[in-house]
């Protein structure tokens, strides 16, 4: 049967069959047993895990087993600076990463690949770096521990990254790179080298690396897992998420290039409210029909936002689902409530953004982990 979606590290389009991706990518589903173990250690479970938005993994079970035996792990994720602002979809891996940092005391490394965006011709280097700093402020505002987090721009940290990327690149030939990423004759040689750089931080520590990311990023780390043992190092573990729908419907994705599809962290809270009020819902054409037949929360973008980010209380979430199905809840009221919650979140985030500005140096240069990383010399072979 013809695939109805496109999924690469650069492009996500169409209706994604997440179950099928598990088979296609050879990853494992996060099951109840694993969640119970995580809950036992962490004391609770983040809703992104509990509600299976992060739904698949590679070796997360090993990470947790090793942790139980006293072996630490570290976290690695990133943000690509292609736009000046980030949307709600962009922050989901960071929300889970922050929870994992707090729950397991893990060091956290955040790559900002300005080089990749430049090679991908997403702007001139000066504006890409300006976007990068704005993105970094948003990440800091989410509340990471400044002494356990190192955020780095690739073009600044390249001397260190290069020491690790050098031997990695030796093991990736053009055929492997083409087969993994679909590079063509038009691809810049910078982008062809870039996977070696994206893989490099997985070797920052001797401990095992755990990467929270969207499932589209898996090809990079599949490659890491193919070569790690050649250096006598750990294979990276991954915890993989689905994608947040765009505001236009379940087959859409929040996209920075289509403002109507996304709630941006910089959006004026009043504009964001309007976007929520205009979002696609599973409601009926008229209130009368909705009262008679009920709505469909399973295809509703509003319900999805409650489910993933804006309703932590299981009982209240279930009540909303049932009320919608029975026709006891009307979309206008349901949207209005979400719009208020989104506006509150944005006001709070934008207030923290002002504080984040003052903390940039700590995360990038002079916090405890940042200093260690600038003084570190790597030698993986
Ligand atoms: Fe969606 Fe709420 Fe309308 Fe149900 S009532 S379809 S959950 S907006």
CA of 25 to the centre of ligand 1 (A): 34
φ/ψ (deg, to 5) at 372: -55, -45
Closest CA to 87 of 313, 305, 362, 317: 305
The CA 284 to ligand 1 mean position distance, Å, reads 9
- Whole-number Cα distances in Å, 242 to 47, 57, 85: 14, 12, 21
Rounded to two decimals, the pTM is 0.93
CB 269 within 8 A of CB 343: yes
Residues in CB range of 287: below 8 A, 6 or more apart: 330
Instruction: Report the C-alpha gap between 314 and 367 in whole angstroms.
Output: 38
Q: Ligand 1 centre and the CA of 35: distance in Å? A: 29
CA 152/CA 36 separation, integer angstroms: 34
Pocket test for ligand 1, best of 333, 334, 335 (most atoms within 8 A of CB): 334
Residues of the chain with CATH 1.10.240.10: 248-353
CATH of domain 5-245: 3.40.50.620
Q: Whose CA is nearest to atom 4 of ligand 1?
A: 324
Pairing of the two strands 28-29 and 208-214: unpaired
Q: What is the Cα 53 distance to its own chain's centre?
A: 11
pLDDT tens string 146-173: 999 999 999 999 999 999 999 999 999 9
Residue by residue, pLDDT tens for the chain (381 residues) are 455 655 665 565 667 889 988 998 999 999 999 999 999 999 999 999 999 999 999 999 999 999 999 999 999 999 988 676 899 999 999 999 999 999 999 999 999 999 999 998 878 999 999 999 999 999 999 999 999 999 999 999 999 999 999 999 999 999 999 988 888 889 999 999 999 999 999 999 999 999 999 998 898 899 999 999 888 999 999 999 998 999 998 878 887 778 888 999 999 999 999 999 999 999 999 999 999 999 999 999 999 999 999 999 999 999 999 999 999 999 999 999 999 999 999 999 999 999 999 999 999 999 999 999 999 998 877
137 C-alpha to ligand 1 centroid (Å) = 34
Which residue has its alpha carbon closest to ligand 1 atom 3? 331
Q: What is the spatial distance between Cα 90 and Cα 254, in angstroms, rounded to a whole number?
A: 9
Q: Which of 291, 297, 308 to mutate for ligand 1's pocket (most ligand atoms within 8 Å of CB)?
A: 297
Alpha carbon dihedral 213, 219, 220, 222, in 10-degree steps, equals 100
Pocket of ligand 1 (CB under 6 A): 281-283, 295, 297, 300, 302-303, 324, 329, 331, 334-335
Phi, psi dihedrals of residue 110, rounded to the nearest 5° = -125, 115
Q: For the domain made up of 248-353, give the CATH fold.
A: Tyrosyl-Transfer RNA Synthetase (1.10.240)
Q: List where CATH 3.40.50.620 sits in the chain.
A: 5-245
Contacts by 355-359, CB closer than 8 A, 24 or more apart: 355/141, 356/137, 356/138, 356/140, 356/141, 357/137, 359/140, 359/146
């Amino acid at each position: 049967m013809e695939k109805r979606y496109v999924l690469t590290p650069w492009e996500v389009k169409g209706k994604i069959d997440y179950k099928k991706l598990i088979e296609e990518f050879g990853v494992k589903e996060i099951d109840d047993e694993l969640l119970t173990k995580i809950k036992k250690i962490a004391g609770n479970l983040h809703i992104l895990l509990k509600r299976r938005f992060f739904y698949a993994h590679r070796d997360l079970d090993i990470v947790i087993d090793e942790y139980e035996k006293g072996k630490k792990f570290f976290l690695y994720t990133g943000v690509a600076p292609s736009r000046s602002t980030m949307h709600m979809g962009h922050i989901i891996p960071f929300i889970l990463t922050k929870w994992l940092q707090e729950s397991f005391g893990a060091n956290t490394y955040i790559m900002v690949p300005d080089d990749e965006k430049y090679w991908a011709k997403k702007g001139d280097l000066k504006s890409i770096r300006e976007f990068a700093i704005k993105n970094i402020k948003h990440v800091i505002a989410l509340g990471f521990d400044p002494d356990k987090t190192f955020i780095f721009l690739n073009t600044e940290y390249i001397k260190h990254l290069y020491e690790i990327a050098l031997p990695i690149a030796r093991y990736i030939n053009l055929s492997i790179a083409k087969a993994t990423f679909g590079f063509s004759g038009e691809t810049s040689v910078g982008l062809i080298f870039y996977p070696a750089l994206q893989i490099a931080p997985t070797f920052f520590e001797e401990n095992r690396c755990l990467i929270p990311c969207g499932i589209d990023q898996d090809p990079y780390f599949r490659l890491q897992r193919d070569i790690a043992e050649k250096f006598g190092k750990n294979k990276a573990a991954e915890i993989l998420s689905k994608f947040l729908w765009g505001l236009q419907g379940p087959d859409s994705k929040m996209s920075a290039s289509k403002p109507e599809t996304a709630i941006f962290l910089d959006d004026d809270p009043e504009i964001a409210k309007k976007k929520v009020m205009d979002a696609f819902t599973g409601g009926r054409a008229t209130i009368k029909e909705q009262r008679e037949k009920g709505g469909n929360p399973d295809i509703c973008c509003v319900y999805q936002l409650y489910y993933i980010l804006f309703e932590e209380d299981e009982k209240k979430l279930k009540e909303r689902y049932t009320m919608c199905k029975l026709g006891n809840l009307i979309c206008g009221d349901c949207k209005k409530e979400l719009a208020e919650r989104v506006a509150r979140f944005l006001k709070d985030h934008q207030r923290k953004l002002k504080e984040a500005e003052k903390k940039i140096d700590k995360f990038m240069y002079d916090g405890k982990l940042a200093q260690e990383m600038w003084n570190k010399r790597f030698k993986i072979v």
